[in-house]
Structure 1
Amino acid sequence: MRYTKLFLIFSFLLLIKQTIAVATELDGAFIEHFAKAYLAERFPSTEEERVRISVAHLDPRIVIKPCKIPLTANIPEKNRAINVNIKISCDESIPWKVYLSAKVEITKAVLIATSTISKGDKLDESNIELAYMPINRIRGDKLTDINIVFGAKAKKRIAKGKAISKKSFCLICKGDVVTIIASSDNFSIKTRGVALSSGNINEQIRVKNTRSKKVITPRVKTINQVVINL
């Protein structure tokens, strides 16, 4: 009976030892999953940006040693490049580290031309849409709200698939007949004018008053409408 108890105790202790060993053993699949989770936390998807992460497989010849403390990860280059190298480290008394390559593809929702738009064409749902584009292909400040450009005219030719920028269109273009709203705290009046320059919302443009022939510099309020404060 005594030997039976000793055998059971020995077997139990051996089982515990084996469980701990298994718990601290790491393999390539775990390291790859750990790296992907780290990148997902560092580059989270948002309403405006989508992130796609792919991690290369670890070389099967690399032997991953156990680590009794939590692993750490970082990107030595500290950038937002598409291709990154991730360093996975175990900072025990005898430390070790491995490197994995990964691809982080970030796309952002921007307005693009769904067909070639000629100079002077109006922008609407027939030729523009919101689409996700790789951020490395986006240059400058691109637009995300179709309401801002709806009904505006193209200032130049916009190729199919190109992102729409403020330089691509004008709410009021040179030569357009516009309504001038002159307002104060007590009253407002409307009159006609001709745009002598082009502009977008809240931008100042030169307008010639059709009645008085004077040139004023009101701000663009909306399509074919400008406002000046008296």
Structure 2
Amino acid sequence: MRTTILVATLLMTGSPLLQGAESTAAQIEHAAGLFLDDFASQQADRGFEVSHKTGPLDSRLALAACNTPLAVSFSGDPWKTTQPTLEVSCSGERPWRMFLGASVTITGDGMVAARALTRGERITGGMIKAESVTVNATRRGVITDPEQLIGMEMRRGINAGTMMTPNLLTAPAAVARGDHVIITARRGSFAVNSRGKAMADAAVGDQVLIENLSSSRTVKARVTAPGQVEIPM
């Protein structure tokens, strides 16, 4: 995710030398704060609560005061870390760019295992439930939509209460070894169908070896749906 906002320039009084350093620090802090407030507001509309604070500015900061609004963005994905970095830049007469640490906690409903799950189990609605979790506490990404889980298979066993993350899941086989399948040979809008037998298990999108039952030839095909594969003509 990459979100950017522009923040109005702050002016401060004082000696020219101090004014430049102080106004630059004030600009950065103000811009970063408004950016994080805006991000929190956007996520609140989606049902997530965001708490945040910016890290301290380097005391050696020596950047020119910016005469244009500052641009602020996340330099990484804030949904996969609670310690994202902000990129702050000035495109004015004396352009510059700097990075500022931040602490961001996103809280909301995430899907967790309602009971212990074993390797190979196919997930149904009763096996999962929503709980309030820190959504960005893991780089793997917490799953918040139950529809992304239903029908998937467990890659390994987990305990009850474990957060559901993509690395725990695998797509179920749409074709199993020995299954009879429909082979579609396609070129543009023209297609020819024949029957074949799968030589291995495969999920939708996977490549699998298929024995053509008419010619006894073995071809490599892509699984397009349960019981259906496709090869280019």
Greater C-alpha Rg: 1
TM-score interval, normalised by the smaller of the two chains: 0.3 to 0.5
Give the TM-score normalised by structure 1: 0.47
